[in-house]
Amino acid sequence: MAQIIGSPSRYIQGKGELKNLCTYASNYGSRLFVLTSVSGRKRVEPSIQAGMPGTGVETVYESFNGECSMNEIDRVIAAAKDAGCDMIAGVGGGKIHDTAKAAAHYMGKPVIIVPTIASTDAPCSALSVIYTDEGVFDRYLFLPASPNAVLVDTEVVSKAPARLLVAGMGDALATYFEARACRQSSAVNCVGGMSTLAAMALARLCYETLLENGVSAALAVTENVCTKAVENVIEANTYLSGIGFESGGLAGAHAIHNGLTVIEETHAMYHGEKVAFGTLVQLVLENADSEEIEAVVDFCNAVGLPTTLAQLGIKEVKAEQLMEVAELAAAEGDTLGNMPFPMTPEDVYAAIMAADAIGRNYAE
């Protein structure tokens, strides 16, 4: 089987880069459809418009309805066509990006993704997660190409709530360990091929960047300031983890995350927070070196990522409920199958309980 790596054609990151959106967009067209939330528009429009004159690009703004559903995608396509737009920018969070990616794909037009938070590694990926209008998961829409450009204004991202950047670190924390497991098992990555040396190197760099910069970045954003550490973590969360997960592959940590979603109490937690705990569970399943486990737990404690079930909001641990989590995580088709050895739901249950005990042990 071929080795395949996917990537956006351009990745642009820097302080104040939002004002250059129209300049970058002029590479792809002349009329930019900007999909953003009502509140997001107030924050981003002044910068975008300030940089528009002289670029030859005109902008048309449209408010996002709140859910990445087929109805919303169809509505965005119709609005973009009515406005005569020849490219789409999704400015905001994950659901806006996914809607913009899907709409541009169906229209056959270029798409620029502009994250205003760094809470997940989804912006660079060739994937949209489609929900029903009511917000229930519907399906994954695998796209034939990654976004034409991803533009990250680090000034904007550093002003978002600190917990979002930390959640992004949780999502990025899993990347190296999942890519490593996939390489050991020769699993197929998210772009339909085998991992490359490049994807593995980016995944490793992602983990190292978090360890070196995570704590100071988490502290800096509590003051809403953008330091070099914050910029490094934004790159790790968005680009290194984005390429690392998609082209390295997903394994135990995300399967555990998916299992945890059956527990109502965890719904208040962000994706990356659950993935961080899932990473610890994966390491227990692998019986990883105690030094490695300690490094991961220390990192989580230092930046404020959960390492125990209680920290995930689960007040009372019920065995049958955790067994449900384990069964869902081990379900056929989920990425636990990418781990380099077979395991039963009972093994997963044991690893969840042990990970929780390890987390509690270090917290004391």
Q: Which residue numbers are catalytic?
A: 171, 254, 257, 271
Q: Where are the beta strands (DSSP E) in 194-260?
A: none
Any idea what DSSP says for residue 194? Answer: B
Contact 251, 182 (CB under 8 A): yes
Rg value, the chain, Cα: 20
Nearer to Zn ion, 52 or 203 (CB): 203
Nearer to Zn ion, 29 or 92 (CB): 92
Minimum Å gap between C-beta 250 and Zn ion is 8
Spatial neighbors of 174 by CB under 8 A, at least 6 apart, are: 245, 253, 254, 275, 276, 278, 279, 282
Minimum Å gap between C-beta 167 and Zn ion is 10
Nearer to Zn ion, 29 or 244 (CB): 244
Nearer to Zn ion, 171 or 235 (CB): 171
Spatial neighbors of 250 by CB under 8 A, at least 6 apart, are: 178, 182, 190, 335, 338
CA distance 105 to 97: 12
Any idea what DSSP says for residue 191? Answer: T
Minimum Å gap between C-beta 338 and Zn ion is 14
Minimum Å gap between C-beta 271 and Zn ion is 6
Nearer to Zn ion, 51 or 170 (CB): 170
Indicate the residue whose CB is closest to Zn ion: 171
Nearer to Zn ion, 220 or 253 (CB): 253
Q: Is 26 exposed, middle or buried (0-12, 13-18, 19+ CB in 10 A)?
A: middle
Nearer to Zn ion, 171 or 246 (CB): 171
Closest CA to 300 of 202, 214, 187: 214
CA distance 238 to 240: 6
Minimum Å gap between C-beta 254 and Zn ion is 6
Write out the residues near Zn ion by the rule CB under 5 A. Answer: 171
Minimum Å gap between C-beta 3 and Zn ion is 22
Q: Is 364 exposed, middle or buried (0-12, 13-18, 19+ CB in 10 A)?
A: exposed
DSSP letters of 97-131?
A: HHHHHHHHHHHT--EEEEES--S-S-TTSSEEEEE
Spatial neighbors of 269 by CB under 8 A, at least 6 apart, are: 306, 312, 313
Minimum Å gap between C-beta 275 and Zn ion is 5
